[in-house]
Structure 1
Amino acid sequence: MLEIFVLGYCLYFFLTIYTSFMQIGFVKNAKKLQPIILDNEKYEVAANYSIEKEKISIVSSFYSFLIFIFWISYGLNILDSLVSFESTILKAVVFVNLFIIINWILGLPFDLYSTFKLDKKYGFSNMTPALFIKDTLKTGILFLVFGSAVIAIISWIISTLSSWWIWGFVFIFAVIIAINMLYPVIRDKMFDKFEPLKDKELEAKIEKLLDEVGFKSSGVFSVDASKRDNRLNAYFGGLGSTKRVVLFDTLIEKLSHNELLAVLGHELGHFKNGDIVKNIGIMGFVMFVFFAIFGNLSEEIFLGLKLQNESYAIITVFLIFSPILSFFLMPLISLISRYNEYAADEFGSNMQSKEDLISALLKLANENKSFPLSHPIYIFFYYSHPPLVERFKELGYDVHQNNNDDALKDSIFNLKTHG
């Protein structure tokens, strides 16, 4: 049985490497073509950024594969010999925490390189060493406190209840819902500075838009995302009474009122179409499948890893192998997501206008330096949103026109008169 999981990891490793190489080759060739969506300079910059990211991904994948081999060959057994407690729950908490912390430390060089080298090179990251350390300490404290509590409860469920995987699924699913509900509150209290919009005219327009679709929120907020990153973004955070509209300060600075409303109209499309509930349902189904698999593992797996079939080992095996299952399930989930994005685009363009949504998407692509073209196999595995080319096509915008202000104005004029 262990051999099947290891073979699955090897296939996962091969596919990640293969898709990265295919993407690099594709972008290198596309880089030579007439720029679309982005202006000439940003088209080349975005291509270079995409290529560099994939090169790092390849190195990271090889590195992760070596770490995987280490863990299943020697590492887990060594850690097991070092962590010795009579209490099953205490052993699970210490063992799993150490496993996660060691993996985090081993992956830290890539995180540092991406944040302080690659993203700064391309004008994204504003992160300072002091802020990075501060964020890391806060995240670490949250993990040790709440993560340890979750590990302890799951360990108790595994050790005490029959058909534990059903109850474990119910508990973890409830935890995920709680995290989604509390996420904006935690971000507000510990990481970001949430403020009511200073632009009261924009706030009134957003509130009107929310009322039109019946979206009840606890407020519209601006967040100082630019202290970490220059990318543009917005999101609806929380569930129930904690729901709020959050706009990055970078987005407010770069987009006009109508463009912002078009972007929010797209997000409201997900709410109106029931995508949020659907996504929670899909997440629950996937999680249930995971627990059904890892809750009925053969004794041979633990013998092969030289571990006892106890809660600490079950949780660790779950952490090691669940990303493989996620990778192979993602194409189906992403296919559903891409379909939902088209519907949300249609809703957003009807709430505001196609012209405003197109203009907003063009600015987002240029400011975020998002290369507009990707290899089909890369899209198949990684794209939860449709490629920009396809989104613009559905909105009636010809991406092959010259990317300048006059061409954009002409295109929008044609949409107004013929669309």
Structure 2
Amino acid sequence: MLEVFVIAYCIYFLVNVYTSFMQIGFVTKARKMPAIILDNSRYVEAANYSIEKEKLSILTTFYDFVLFIVWIGFALKALDSIIVVEQAWLKAILFIDAFIIINWVLALPFELYKIFTLDKKYGFSNMTAQLFIKDTIKSGILFLVFGSLVIAGIALIIENLPLWWIWGFVFIFSVIILINMLYPIIRDKMFDKFEPLKDKELEAKIEKLLDEVGFKSSGVFSVDASKRDNRLNAYFGGLGSTKRVVLFDTLVEKLTHNELLVVLGHELGHFKNGDILKNIGIMGVVMFIFFAIFGNLNDELFLGLSLNNEPYAIIAVFLLFSPILSFFLMPLISLISRHNEYAADEFGSNLQSKNDLVNALLKLANENKSFPLSHPLYIFFYYSHPPLVERFKELDYDVYSSYNLNEAMKDDFNIDE
């Protein structure tokens, strides 16, 4: 049984690395063509960032593979021998907390490099060491308190209930819904500074837009995202009575009123089309599949890992092997997501205009330095949004004539009329 999981992880590792190498080669070639969508300098800069980020991804994938081998080879057994506790729920808390913390510490150098070297080099990160430490401490407290409670809950369900994996799914799915409801409140109280919009004219326009589509929220807020990052973004956070519209201060600064409204119109398209409920449903189905698989493992797998078939081991195996399933399910989920994005674009452009959405996407792409072209295999696995070129095509924006692409270039980069 263990051999099957190891083979699956090896396939996951090889596909991951191969896809990254294909993306690097593709972007390296595309970097030499005339700039499209982005300004000339930002086109090259975005390509360079994409390549460097992918190289870092390859390195972390190799590193994770080594850690995986270490964990299944002897580290899980060693940790089990160190944590000797009678109560199953308490052992699960101590074991899983230690497992997660060790993995986080070992991955920390890569996170620090991305934030303080790579992202700063390309003008994204504004993170300071002091803010990073504060965020880390707050996140750590939340994890140790609430994460430990969740671990204890699932351990007690495993230990005491028949068909525990069904009840475990219900418990974890409920926790995720609760987290989504509380997310904007937690961000507001512990991490970000949420403020009512200072631009009252914009606020009135947004409120009118929300009323038109019947979206009830607890308010429209600007958040000081620029203290961490210069990228532009907006989102609808929360569920039920906690729903709120959140605009990054960087977005408010860079976009015109009409462009902001069409970006929000796109997000409202997801609401109007029921995409939020669909995504919750998809997440529920995926999670149920996970629990069905990991809830019916036989003792052979745990014997291969030198562990007892107990709550702490089941949770650890879940955490260790679930990325494999996630990776191979992502293409289907991303395909559905890309379809929903086209529909949301159509809804948003109908609320405002296609021209406003085109202008907003052009600004977002340039400010976020999003390279507009990717290898088809990379898109297949990783793109939850359609490629920019395809989105513009649906909006009747002629990328080709705007950027003087010849037919050979279109063929080289799989750009279809």
User: Which TM-score band (shorter chain)?
Assistant: over 0.9
Question: 1:383 corresponds to which residue?
Answer: 383
Task: Using the TM superposition, give the Cα deviation of residue 379 of structure 1 relative to its aligned residue in structure 2, in angstroms.
Answer: 0.1
Whether 2:114 is the aligned partner of 1:124: answer no
Residues in 1 aligned to 2:33 and 2:119: alpha-carbon distance in whole angstroms: 25
* Residues 168-220 of structure 1: per-residue CA shift (max 9 Å, x gap): 00000000000000000000000000000000000000000000000000000
The reply to whether residue 93 of structure 1 matches residue 98 of structure 2 is no
Q: Which runs of 4+ in 1 moved over 2 A?
A: 400-404
**1:153 maps to which residue?**
153
2:411 maps to none
Quote the residue 2:188 is aligned against: 188
Residue deviations 1:241-292 (CA, integer Å, cap 9, x gap): 0000000000000000000000000000000000000000000000000000
Amino acid at match of 1:373: L
Aligned counterpart, 1:66: 66
RMSD in angstroms over aligned alpha carbons?
Answer: 0.8
Distance in 2 (CA, whole Å) between partners of 1:196 and 1:400 is 41
- Alignment of 1:238 with 2:238, yes or no, is yes
Q: 1:316 — aligned with what? A: 316
1:227 maps to 2:227? yes
**1:218-250 Cα deviation digits (max 9, x unpaired):** 000000000000000000000000000000000
Matched-pair contact (CA < 8 Å) for 1:39–1:403? no
* Deviation string, structure 1 residues 10-33 (Cα, Å, up to 9, x no partner): 000001100000000000000011
Partner Cα distance (2:166, 2:55) in 1: 41
**Aligned counterparts, 1:199-218, within 5 A:** 199-218=199-218
Decide whether the 8 Å contact of 2:223 with 2:249 is kept in 1: yes
1:170 and 2:170 matched: yes
Between the two proteins, the alignment pairs up a number of residues equal to 404
2: CA distance, partners of 1:239 / 1:79? 39
Contact 2:158 2:311 in 1 (8 A): yes
- What letter matches 1:48 in structure 2? N
Match status 1:102 vs 2:102: yes
Deviation at 1:401, TM superposition (A): 3.7
Q: Is the 8 A contact 1:258 1:352 kept in 2?
A: yes
The Cα shift of 1:398 comes to 1.1
> Match of 2:45?
45
SS at match of 1:290: helix
Aligned residue identity for 2:183: Y
What code does the residue aligned with 1:197 have? L
- Matched position secondary structure for 2:400: coil
Q: CA deviation at 1:76?
A: 0.1
- The AA in structure 2 aligned to 1:368 is N
Equivalent in the alignment of 1:364: 364
Residue 400 (structure 1) shift: 2.4
Contact 2:89–2:152 (CA under 8 A) maintained in structure 1: yes
SS of the residue aligned with 2:236?
Answer: strand
Match for residue 395 of structure 1? 395
Matched, 1:56 2:56: yes
Q: Residue in 1 aligned with 2:413? A: none
2:408 aligned residue: none
8 Å contact kept, 2:34–2:403 = no
Residues 46 and 371 in structure 1, CA contact (< 8 A), matched pair in contact too: yes
Code of the aligned partner of 2:88:
T
Give SS of 2:246's match. strand
**Which shifted more, 184-193 or 393-402?**
393-402
Quote the Cα distance in structure 1 between the aligned partners of 2:87 and 2:298.
24
For the residues of structure 2 that align with 1:221 and 1:140, how far apart are their CA atoms?
A: 26
**1:267 and 2:264 are equivalent in the alignment:** no
Tell me the residue number matched to 1:80. Answer: 80
The one-letter code sitting in structure 2 at the alignment partner of 1:106 is L
Which string of whole-angstrom CA distances, capped at 9 and with x for unpartnered residues, describes residues 309-367 of structure 1? 00000000000000110000000000000000000000000001000000000000000
For residue 407 of structure 2, what is the aligned residue in structure 1? none
Deviation, 1:403, is 5.9
Q: Per-residue displacement from partner, 1:23-44 (whole Å, max 9, x unpaired)? A: 0000000001111000100000
Q: Return the TM-score normalized by structure 1.
A: 0.96
Query: Residue 51 of structure 1 aligns to which amino acid in structure 2?
Result: I
Cα drift, residue 140 of structure 1: 0.2
Partner in structure 2 of residue 179 of structure 1: 179
Asked if the contact 1:20–1:58 (Cα under 8 Å) also holds between the matched residues in 2, the reply is: yes
Identity of aligned residues (%): 78
Match of 2:335 in 1: 335
Contact 1:36 1:401 in 2 (8 A): no
Contact 2:27 2:47 (C-alpha < 8 Å) held by counterparts: yes
In structure 1, C-alpha distance between the alignment counterparts of 2:262 and 2:155, rounded to whole Å? 47
Whole-Å separation in 2 of the counterparts to 1:202 and 1:110 = 40
Determine whether 1:2 maps to 2:2.
yes
Give the AA of the match of 1:252: V
Aligned equivalents of 2:178 and 2:386: distance in 1? Answer: 29
Provide, for residues 356-387 of structure 1, a one-character-per-residue CA deviation record: whole Å limited to 9, x for no partner.
Answer: 00000000000000000000000000000000
Q: Which residue of 2 aligns with 1:411?
A: none
Contact 2:265–2:347 (Cα < 8 Å) also in 1:
yes
- Matched to 1:262, the amino acid is V
Residue identity matched to 1:10: C
Query: Secondary structure of the equivalent of 1:235?
Result: strand
Distance in 2 (CA, whole Å) between partners of 1:181 and 1:91 is 30
2:269 maps to amino acid: G
Unaligned runs of 5+ in 2: 405-417
